[in-house]
Structure 1
Amino acid sequence: MTARIAFIGLGALGAIYSERIATGLAESADVFAIADGDRADRLAAEGVTINGAPFRPRIERPDASSGPVELLVIATKASGLSPAIDLARPFAGAGTVILSLINGIHSEPILAEAFPEAEVLLSMTAGSDVERSGSVVSYENFGRIAFGRERNEPADAVVSSTDELLARAGVPHEVPADMERVLWWKFMGNVGINPSSALLDAEYGAYQGADSPAREVMRAAQRELLLVANARGVALTEADMNEWQRTVDGLAPAGRTSMLQDMRAARPTEIDIFSGEVARLGREHGIPTPVNDLLLNGIRARERIVGAA
């Protein structure tokens, strides 16, 4: 039986993961993108170009859905989550596995509420320096997916079957024993580097090197996140910050975070799910978050200045 695998959101990450899975499972899966309106027309006509190679995914519109899929990957911006849920309804059913590649820690609970019959797993990506400009996608480091339950058990059939599918597709991935902690580790990394890079107009190279001032700004924001995470029972430490730094050191120096790409293009950023979320959780737990408060207001000011707000 041919597995049906659908993607919503063919931005930078959605493009490279859908192409990798479509190529890796060419003989055993039907991989397609869900879209409607002008976006569907444009994707069908133009596709995307990934590291110089054309990729034209099959498009399926919600009003012509052929039913629930085995795997649904949502790779939109945070602001696209609600529209993605509407697009996904004809494709999500009992047993559909849903992976969200959306930044932050908020999307999985929303998806689980929207699709109680589906299997919404925690998931995140790290180590990728992919960028998209128009229909052109490029990267030096592909990165990896981590996914699973909050606590993963070897006997979990849903997680095991997804693990096997990604392995056959040649997608770098892992199934951590403590997925909740890994999700918060990625959140910690994004909280530090995304807002600071957009405010400082700093590419990855600015964070590389022991004498990097940008790195110190990133780590100051991350230390506040550690306090919040610990208050919520997630045992992140300074060692996790050092692991994140090693990840950043391996990225292309001229690469840009998604938030820096948005700021340079005068698009609204995802600041509310990063610094804004840390500030909110800090208030909830009585933890001061002055660095994240500053980054939150600084990015909001920059958005107005560049015309993104």
Structure 2
Amino acid sequence: MEISRVSIIGLGALGILFGYQLSKQMPKQNLRIVADQNRIHKYTSHGVYCNGELCEFNYMTPEQPCEPADLIIFAVKENGLDDAIEAMKKHVGENTIILSALNGISSEEIIGRTFGHDKVLYSVAQGMDAVKVGNQLTYENKGMLCFGEREAGVDSEKMQRVANFFDQVDFPYEVDVNMMKRQWGKFMLNVGVNQTVAVYETNYGGVQRQGKARDTMVAAMKEVIALSKKEGVDLSEDDLTYWLQILATLSPEGKPSMRQDLEAKRYSEVELFSGTVLELSRKHGIQTPVNRYLYDSIKRIESQY
């Protein structure tokens, strides 16, 4: 069964980036951006722009009747996931495949509880340097979506369907048959980069060059490596090197979402990053002082809003 109808929920940086790319290759009516009426009014009144170009999106409210989507992409923040799951119920059918572009290592499990784990492919968005300010998204590197089944070594029909579709629409992707390791690797990168850039009030350039910020970032990532071994994922120094190489490709002027959140005085996803690290450190009896420092620093910043 070919993929022809795609629904996206969440018009943050990734939602706009994915929607913009797909809108160039798909009939407008087949790409649905799902949002409540207030958000749709804001989007249509002020416009949504990607690298200076107005995005001509097809918007739908969760209540509108529709044919189920062949592919759903969740691109909301972690604190909006429960509402997003409720909003997408009319878009899920028997053969729907679901990808989650959320940060962290838990969203697929949460989505699967409602819609069925058989519909969910594990995925990671990586290599993007998109920055969203107001209704304007800018990027230099559009990155890619990596996806696969939760179980290692499996090459499923769902994976092939998504790969065939992404080939047709020229959407950058990579199939991975060890998605748990890939997801933990991206989690390790986020724990280091997002939090360090936020605390040091810098940008990607601030952790791409040698110095105290980069040392802090790498130390935070190494704490995740230690925890991964206890969780049966077994990240290594080679994985650290791989993700640092991904970081090196990003625009030095770009900023991760957590830095953008704190600049705008929005509450961040700190619980998803160092909050998760601290929870796992208690579980396994491992000290994670760098993530404790980053967690406390970010909480202190947020307490001053």
Instruction: Please give the range of the TM-score, normalised by the shorter of the 2 chains.
Output: over 0.9
Distance 1:46 1:303 in 2: 29
Distance 1:252 1:25 in 2: 28
Distance 1:39 1:299 in 2: 28
Distance 1:3 1:44 in 2: 25
Match of 1:65 in 2: 65
Equivalent runs, 1:111-122 vs 2, <5 Å: 111-116=111-116, 119-122=119-122
Q: CA shift at 1:2, angstroms? A: 7.6
Write out per-residue CA displacement over residues 39-68 of structure 1, whole angstroms, 9 at most, x where no aligned residue. Answer: 022223443111111112101112112132
User: In the alignment, is the contact (CA less than 8 A) between 1:147 and 1:174 conserved in 2?
Assistant: yes
Match of 2:20 in 1: 19
Distance 1:2 1:198, change over 3 A: closer
Write out per-residue CA displacement over residues 80-104 of structure 1, whole angstroms, 9 at most, x where no aligned residue. Answer: 1011011111111222111111111
Match of 1:218 in 2: 217
Q: CA shift at 1:26, angstroms? A: 3.4
TM-score (norm 2): 0.95
Q: CA shift at 1:270, angstroms? A: 0.3
Distance 2:74 2:89 in 1: 12
Match of 2:158 in 1: 158
Q: What is the DSSP-based 3-state SS (H/G/I as helix, E as strand, rest coil) of the residue aligned with 1:159?
A: helix
Q: CA shift at 1:300, angstroms? A: 0.3
User: In the alignment, is the contact (CA less than 8 A) between 1:43 and 1:56 conserved in 2?
Assistant: no
Match of 2:266 in 1: 267
Equivalent runs, 1:118-129 vs 2, <5 Å: 119-129=119-129
User: In the alignment, is the contact (CA less than 8 A) between 1:44 and 1:56 conserved in 2?
Assistant: no
Q: CA shift at 1:159, angstroms? A: 0.8
TM-score (norm 1): 0.94
Match of 1:170 in 2: 170
Q: 1:301 aligned to 2:278?
A: no
Match of 1:32 in 2: 32
User: In the alignment, is the contact (CA less than 8 A) between 1:13 and 1:75 conserved in 2?
Assistant: yes
Q: CA shift at 1:22, angstroms? A: 2.0
Match of 1:292 in 2: 291
Letter in 1 for 2:274: S
User: In the alignment, is the contact (CA less than 8 A) between 1:93 and 1:117 conserved in 2?
Assistant: no
Distance 2:184 2:118 in 1: 23
Write out per-residue CA displacement over residues 134-185 of structure 1, whole angstroms, 9 at most, x where no aligned residue. Answer: 111100111111011022433x111100011111111111011211110111
Equivalent runs, 1:77-96 vs 2, <5 Å: 77-96=77-96
Q: What is the DSSP-based 3-state SS (H/G/I as helix, E as strand, rest coil) of the residue aligned with 1:6?
A: strand
Equivalent runs, 1:115-264 vs 2, <5 Å: 115-116=115-116, 119-150=119-150, 151-154=152-155, 156-209=156-209, 211-264=210-263
Distance 1:173 1:93 in 2: 24
State the identity as a percent. Answer: 34
Write out per-residue CA displacement over residues 75-131 of structure 1, whole angstroms, 9 at most, x where no aligned residue. Answer: 011111011011111111222111111111110100000112761110111111001
Q: CA shift at 1:212, angstroms? A: 2.4
Write out per-residue CA displacement over residues 217-275 of structure 1, whole angstroms, 9 at most, x where no aligned residue. Answer: 00111111001111111121112111111111111111111000001111100000000
User: In the alignment, is the contact (CA less than 8 A) between 2:206 and 2:214 conserved in 1?
Assistant: yes
User: In the alignment, is the contact (CA less than 8 A) between 2:33 and 2:59 conserved in 1?
Assistant: yes
Moved more, 289-298 or 268-277: 289-298
Distance 2:158 2:289 in 1: 41
Distance 1:175 1:117, change over 3 A: closer
Name the count of aligned residue pairs: 303
User: In the alignment, is the contact (CA less than 8 A) between 2:3 and 2:165 conserved in 1?
Assistant: no
Match of 1:109 in 2: 109
Distance 1:50 1:272 in 2: 29
C-alpha RMSD over aligned residues: 1.6
What stretches of structure 2 of length at least 5 have no aligned partner? none
User: In the alignment, is the contact (CA less than 8 A) between 1:125 and 1:146 conserved in 2?
Assistant: yes
Distance 1:129 1:2, change over 3 A: closer
User: In the alignment, is the contact (CA less than 8 A) between 2:3 and 2:162 conserved in 1?
Assistant: no
Q: 1:279 aligned to 2:278?
A: yes
